[in-house]
């Protein structure tokens, strides 16, 4: 477990599996109807609590186990907030499709209003993590969450300004209005900046990975390198015509014959 290669592979597997697990839960709740989404979020509180306790416990654990615990705990906190968003329980005041031909400033305000409470929850968690992490020996949990937070903001802005490919296949029913706020375009001015920033972040983590000498730091920076590289990959998947949906489609329940499935939208 001290090998950076094992850490890289584990980070990729945890990212893939946790994403698929969240999608599976919200899709099954879609099919079940009623209060299924609410119950999935309530049961998911166990994951949030475990993530919070694990994050707290990891702060003074300067060991390989501490690096892994910090990483997994940050993902657990992030994952519950994402589950609450996808389940339609933490979204924003506007939950209706964006009208066509609205001014750009109005489209931005409406887009923000669809996710405002969710973004506030993510920011609140980040601020709390920063506060409790001050002076701690193990900062890998905080850095993991920070990478996810800023990469998400970048991805959302790129979806707003326009990218060639947007996959809406896995969006659950509570977020059916969300694609109306996206924009299909060949490219936008922010995308090169996002790619450059994420590439630089990967390079920085890799530099730290080769510079440190202790096993727990090597593992920690390997995990950070992997999760940042995956965020970079997710950005590229907005541009490259690759069938990324196949990574998780086999994990999900088959769509109801009476349900219209949203597909990938691409620039024509």
Q: For residues 69 and 56, what is the distance between their CA atoms, to the nearest angstrom?
A: 10
How many other β-carbons are positioned within 10 Å of the β-carbon of residue 252? 16
Q: For residues 246 and 259, what is the distance between their CA atoms, to the nearest angstrom?
A: 20
- Number of domains into which the chain is organized: 1
Residue 12: Cβ-neighbour burial (10 angstroms; 0-12, 13-18, 19+) = middle
Q: For residues 39 and 36, what is the distance between their CA atoms, to the nearest angstrom?
A: 5
Q: Residue 259: name the closest of 27, 95, 96, 38 by CA.
A: 27
Which backbone phi and psi does 58 adopt, to 5 degrees?
-75, -15
Q: Is residue 132 part of a domain?
A: yes
User: Which tokens belong to 97?
Assistant: 């499709």
Q: Is residue 259 part of a domain?
A: no
Q: For residues 202 and 208, what is the distance between their CA atoms, to the nearest angstrom?
A: 10
- Compute the half-sphere exposure of residue 144: CA atoms within 13 Å on the CB side of its CA: 31
Amino acid 261: pLDDT: 46
Q: Is residue 76 part of a domain?
A: yes
Q: Is 8 left (phi over 0), alpha (psi -120 to 50) or beta?
A: alpha
Q: Is residue 265 part of a domain?
A: no
| Cα 116-119-121 angle, rounded to 5 deg | 110
Q: Write the DSSP string, 196-230.
A: HHHHHHHHHHHHHHHH--SHHHHHHHHHHHHHHHH
Q: Is residue 147 part of a domain?
A: yes
Q: Is residue 150 part of a domain?
A: yes
One digit per residue, pLDDT tens: the chain, 268 residues? 789 999 999 999 999 999 999 999 999 999 999 999 999 999 999 999 999 999 999 999 999 999 999 999 999 999 999 999 999 999 999 999 999 889 999 999 999 999 999 999 999 999 999 999 999 999 999 999 999 999 999 999 999 999 999 988 888 999 999 999 999 998 899 999 999 999 999 999 999 999 999 999 999 999 999 999 999 999 999 999 888 778 887 777 766 654 444 455 666 5
Q: Is residue 16 part of a domain?
A: yes
Provide the whole-model pTM: 0.94
Amino acid 257: pLDDT: 54
Q: Is residue 263 part of a domain?
A: no
Residue 22's domain comprises 4-249
User: Which tokens belong to 13?
Assistant: 């597997």
């Amino acid at each position: 477990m001290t090998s950076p290669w094992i850490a890289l592979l584990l980070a990729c597997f945890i990212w893939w599996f946790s994403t698929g697990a969240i999608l599976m839960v919200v899709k099954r709740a879609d099919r079940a109807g009623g209060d299924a989404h609410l119950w999935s979020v309530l049961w998911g509180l166990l994951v949030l609590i475990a993530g919070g306790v694990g994050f707290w416990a990891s702060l003074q654990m300067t060991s390989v186990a501490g690096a892994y615990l910090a990483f997994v705990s940050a993902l657990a906190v992030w994952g519950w907030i994402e589950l609450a968003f996808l389940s339609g329980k933490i979204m924003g005041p506007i939950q209706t499709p964006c009208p066509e031909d609205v001014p750009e400033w109005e489209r931005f305000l409406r887009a923000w209003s669809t996710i405002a409470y969710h973004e506030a929850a993510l920011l609140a968690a980040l601020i709390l993590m920063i506060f409790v992490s001050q002076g701690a020996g193990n900062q890998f949990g905080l850095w993991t969450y920070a990478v996810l937070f800023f990469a998400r903001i970048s991805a959302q802005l790129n979806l707003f300004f326009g990218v060639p490919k947007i996959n809406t296949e896995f969006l659950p029913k509570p977020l059916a209005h969300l694609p109306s706020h996206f924009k299909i375009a060949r490219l936008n001015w922010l995308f090169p900046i996002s790619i450059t920033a994420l590439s630089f972040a990967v390079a920085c983590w890799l530099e730290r990975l080769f510079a440190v000498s202790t096993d727990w730091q090597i593992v920690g920076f390997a995990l950070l390198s992997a999760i940042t590289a995956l965020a970079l990959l997710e950005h590229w998947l907005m541009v490259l015509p690759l069938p990324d949906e196949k990574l998780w489609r086999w994990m999900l329940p088959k769509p109801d014959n009476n349900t219209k499935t949203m597909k990938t939208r691409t620039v024509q």
